[in-house]
Amino acid sequence: MLNLVYTGVQILHNFGAVAVVGSPAVAWWFARDNPAAQCRLAWLLVIGWAAQGASGAGFGMTSYFLKGQLPEISGVALIALVAKIACATCGFAVGILYLNMASRWSVATRLKVWQGMLALAGTALTAAAFLRWFL
């Protein structure tokens, strides 16, 4: 049962990771002249970051409520976890900002924001590897 819950949380987390990395990559390389497509990708981005935050919390809640304790975490793993939480918070906030403001931004500004979002997602994905192997 516990493994099944972890698997469900991990599935959401994995698809969320694809969304936060994939949407800025596609917006930058394939849809840079297509504001309508970029708007749909911004929705995907916001949903992706929200899924990461929710499923990240889901990992913790599963451990706490079904296993009886949170994992002991310190050092490199703790830094990686804090980095992921910071990325998810910033990514979600910038995504919301994009949905509200991007129609007034120039093409160059939008491109810079997508590049920044890709860097943010890449940082979180890199932190995930450290969290996995230093836990």
Residue 105 or 134: the one with the smaller Cβ distance to ligand HEM is: 134
Residue 135 carries which DSSP code?
A: -
Angstrom distance (rounded) from CA 69 to CA 77: 17
What number of CA atoms fall less than 13 Å from residue 87's CA on the CB side?
Answer: 28
- Residues at the site binding ligand HEM, with contacts judged by CB under 6 A: 13, 17, 20-21, 52-53, 56, 59, 84-85, 87-88, 121, 124-125, 128, 131-132, 135
Residue 94 or 121: the one with the smaller Cβ distance to ligand HEM is: 121
- Minimal distance in Å, beta carbon 51 to ligand HEM? 9
- Minimal distance in Å, beta carbon 36 to ligand HEM? 25
Angstrom distance (rounded) from CA 87 to CA 99: 18
- Minimal distance in Å, beta carbon 126 to ligand HEM? 9
Q: Which tokens sit at 15?
A: 């698809």
> 3: Cβ–Cβ under 8 A, 6 or more apart, which residues?
none
The pair phi, psi for residue 32, each rounded to 5°, is: -65, -25
- Minimal distance in Å, beta carbon 95 to ligand HEM? 12
Residue 84 or 110: the one with the smaller Cβ distance to ligand HEM is: 84
Residue 27 or 128: the one with the smaller Cβ distance to ligand HEM is: 128
Task: Return the residue nearest ligand HEM (CB atom).
Answer: 56
